Amino acid sequence: MISPNKIIGSLVFRTREALNKNNAFLEKIKSYNFYDLVSDKGNVHLWHYPGTPEEISEKFQQMQDIRTSKYKYPAVFNYQNVKQQFGVNKGFINMTFNLAFVVPTDSEWGTPTREKLVFDMILRDIYAEFINQIKRFNVVRKSRIINVPMDNIKHDRYDVFTTGKSITSALDYLYCDFMDAIQIINLNLSIYSEICDEDIKQIEMESEKVFDTKTTKKTKK
């Protein structure tokens, strides 16, 4: 068996790798107002945070100094708990995820401005590449991992424009930051129940690269 969180972590890693090979994307985000917060030496960050909403909030509140702030954006919030269904389809585990892709924004911007300067600039590209990586996840693997349907990957998507005083106040309270998000709910992935050890190790290694556990220790100093 493979951890649901490590599956998403591996997908996040592969998404980051693909984005950093996309020269058009890398050039475009240079005009993003918060470019310095999401990039390092020309490459985009992309981090994975599995946890309850309260846990993720607490983590982000702690990451305010220069040592840890570079681990914040862009990020994929992987809200727990992950539903796992056994015995529905023989040979598979059905996993249902609720995720949010988040980037920093300006609390003074209205929805039309965010559409242009946040969603079109960076968020939609991250989301689209993540979906693409689900479709490509079995490539170069020794065993099949995700049973990708022939049609579209079914999920509910919300473009979350966090405008208005009440919502921005709530964000500042929860995360000490202002952010916009693309949220996907009820993302159902059918995972093969038998995966070879070599692929499991690869998935675990990739997952670790998009969440540096050392930040937990750093924030306690």
Tens-digit pLDDT profile for residues 50-108? 999 888 888 888 877 767 777 889 999 999 999 998 877 788 899 999 999 999 999 88
74: preceding bond cis by omega (within 30 degrees): yes
Could you list the residue range(s) of the whole structural domain that residue 65 is in? 4-218
> Which pLDDT score is estimated for 178?
84
> Which pLDDT score is estimated for 221?
36
> Which pLDDT score is estimated for 58?
86
> Which pLDDT score is estimated for 172?
56
Question: Which residue bears the tokens 């590449």?
Answer: 129
Number of domains in the chain: 1
Burial 185-195 (b: 16+ CB within 10 A, else e): eebebbbbeeb
The low-confidence residues of the chain, meaning pLDDT below 50, are: 173, 217-221
> Which pLDDT score is estimated for 59?
85
> Which pLDDT score is estimated for 163?
65
